[in-house]
Amino acid sequence: MFNLEENKQSIMKLIDSREKDEIIIPVYVRLYNNKYFLHELDQIKMFNPAAFKVGFGSSSGMFIKNSFPNQLLLSYDETHVFMDVDADTGVAVRYILFESNDKNDGTTVVDSQIIFYAEKIREYLEQQCGEYKRQLIQSQMEESN
């Protein structure tokens, strides 16, 4: 399960791995009060779109070209901000985690990227949980025969 304090270094590496045109990158999925890293999505067996949010990561700093636009930070839920000093440059980098879903107006580049990633993850979970449900029903029908 997702734990910010235990996985801060891994999260920073993931955020730093963004492509030049990516302002944000998906880090985890929240369903109700449970948070799952993306590599843990196979643990999710039941999916409710109303309880679905994606945790995104970004960063901002003096030498970061795809910095998160700080004026947008208050637009999102469950924001966490932490700092780290880059050992090579000696410059502070501000790391940002926040949650959102694919239900926004898409007026900013960040919103467009949120919609893109959240839709892909939601579609994956709907398919995975639908298949799990079919298998569960099939096994129950076989047991009753």
Give per-residue pLDDT as tens, 93-108.
Answer: 999 999 988 777 778 8
CA-only gyration radius of the chain, Å: 18
Strands 52-61 and 25-31: antiparallel
Per-residue confidence (pLDDT) for residue 27, from 0 to 100: 96
Q: What's the predicted TM-score (pTM) here? A: 0.87
Coil vs helix vs strand at 15: helix
Instruction: Report CA torsion sign: 128, 134, 135, 140.
Output: positive
Q: What is the mean pLDDT of the chain?
A: 89
For the segment 30-51, the average pLDDT, to the nearest whole number, is 90
For the segment 17-43, the average pLDDT, to the nearest whole number, is 92
Coil vs helix vs strand at 88: coil
Domain boundaries, the chain: 8-144
| Gap between the Cα atoms of 115 and 121, Å rounded | 10
6 pLDDT more than 70: yes
| Gap between the Cα atoms of 98 and 118, Å rounded | 13
Give per-residue pLDDT as tens, 70-93.
Answer: 888 888 888 899 999 978 888 899
Q: How many residues does the chain have?
A: 145
1 pLDDT more than 80: no
| Contact of 29 with 44, CB cutoff 8 Å | yes
Per-residue confidence (pLDDT) for residue 145, from 0 to 100: 66
Per-residue confidence (pLDDT) for residue 142, from 0 to 100: 82
Q: Percent of the chain, pLDDT > 70?
A: 99
